[in-house]
């Protein structure tokens, strides 16, 4: 039986890498981009005969409603990858900049996940949200990038509420995933791993955790992170 994944925020970086990884594993993949300029790299992937591209901005309620109406069911995996770093300094950032990071990284993904929950396959479906090691309060020993950290910590909290309020009853596993420090536009050239390594590792962890019936905070390498 072919498995189906919806990967949200797939124009480049880790989202594009996840699409490539799941296509290489024989999955049917629905990938979202924000506009047509994000489609070319996806269309060039091997296995793109099993790929459908949709448009969605996670901060738009209209886009969320349209995506929900377009996506078939059941989904074996919903991976919400979309995210932005935002300004490094909280004190000099504008309210609008802070709001954009919170809506893109936390509330948009959570609202989309709630809207799509009924499409996830019961008992074995997985909802993954792209978190980060920087979301861990226990691991925050350096500070910095506080808007980003706070937005992803909020995402982790919203994911827990989503698991309690919706996913658990369906048997859907919820994973808050740390991809590692990856060489992408966001991660920069100093990242310790490449996109392929991170995405292969994350896909292995998603497979290993399907059916776990929990909400876990895990890394691409299987390491469990402290909240």
Ligand X SMILES: NC(=O)c1ccc[n+]([C@@H]2O[C@H](COP(=O)([O-])OP(=O)(O)OC[C@H]3O[C@@H](n4cnc5c(N)ncnc54)[C@H](OP(=O)(O)O)[C@@H]3O)[C@@H](O)[C@H]2O)c1
With beta carbons less than 8 A apart as the criterion, state whether 67 and 19 touch.
no
Q: Do residues 12 and 38 touch, judged by C-beta distance below 8 A?
A: yes
Of 23, 174, 182, 202, the one binding ligand X (CB under 6 A) is 182
Bridge partners, 33 (sequence order): 55
Binding segment for ligand X among 4-12, 65-73, 114-122, 165-173 (CB under 6 A)? Answer: 4-12
86 binds ligand X (CB under 6 A): no
| Residue 185 touching ligand X (CB under 6 A) | yes
What is the bridge-based pairing of β-strands 173-178 and 126-130? Answer: parallel
* 151 lies in the site for ligand X, by CB under 6 A: no
Task: Identify which range of 158-166, 168-176, 180-188, 215-223 contacts ligand X by CB under 6 A.
Answer: 180-188
The least distance separating ligand X from the CB of residue 1, rounded to whole angstroms, comes to 29
User: Nearest 5 degrees, angle CA 83-CA 107-CA 53?
Assistant: 50
Among 59, 136, 156, 205, binds ligand X (CB under 6 A): 59
Q: Does 184 bind ligand X (CB under 6 A)?
A: yes
From 76-84, 89-97, 117-125, 212-220, span contacting ligand X (CB under 6 A):
76-84
Burial of 66 (0-12, 13-18, 19+ CB in 10 A): middle
Using CB under 6 A as the binding rule, whether residue 209 contacts ligand X is answered as no
- Segment contacting ligand X (CB under 6 A): 21-29, 54-62, 116-124, 213-221? 54-62
Residue with tokens 């937005």: 151
Residues in CB range of 190: below 8 A, 6 or more apart: 181, 183
Give strand pairing partners of 5: 29, 77
- Using CB under 6 A, list all residues that contact ligand X: 9, 11-15, 34, 38, 57-59, 81-84, 104, 130, 132, 179, 181-182, 184-187, 191
């Amino acid at each position: 039986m072919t498995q189906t994944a919806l990967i949200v925020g797939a124009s480049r970086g880790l989202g594009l890498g996840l699409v490539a990884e799941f296509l290489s594993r024989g999955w049917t993949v629905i990938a979202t981009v924000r506009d047509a300029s994000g489609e070319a790299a996806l269309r060039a992937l091997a296995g793109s005969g099993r790929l459908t591209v949709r448009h969605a901005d996670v901060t738009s309620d209209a886009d969320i409603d349209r995506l929900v109406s377009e996506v078939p069911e059941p989904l074996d995996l919903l991976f919400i990858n979309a995210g932005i770093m935002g300004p490094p300094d909280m004190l000099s950032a504008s309210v609008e900049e802070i709001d954009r990071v919170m809506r893109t990284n936390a509330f948009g993904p959570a609202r989309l996940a709630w809207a799509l929950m009924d499409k996830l396959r019961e008992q074995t479906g997985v909802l993954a949200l792209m978190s980060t090691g920087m979301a861990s309060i226990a691991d925050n020993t350096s500070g910095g990038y506080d808007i980003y950290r706070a937005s992803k910590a909020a995402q982790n909290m919203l994911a827990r509420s989503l698991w309690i309020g919706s996913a658990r009853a369906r048997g859907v596993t919820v994973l808050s995933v740390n991809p590692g420090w990856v060489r992408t536009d966001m991660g920069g050239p100093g990242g310790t791993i490449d996109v392929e390594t991170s995405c292969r590792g994350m896909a292995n962890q998603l497979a290993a955790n399907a059916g776990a019936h929990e909400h876990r905070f895990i890394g691409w390498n299987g390491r469990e992170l402290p909240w």
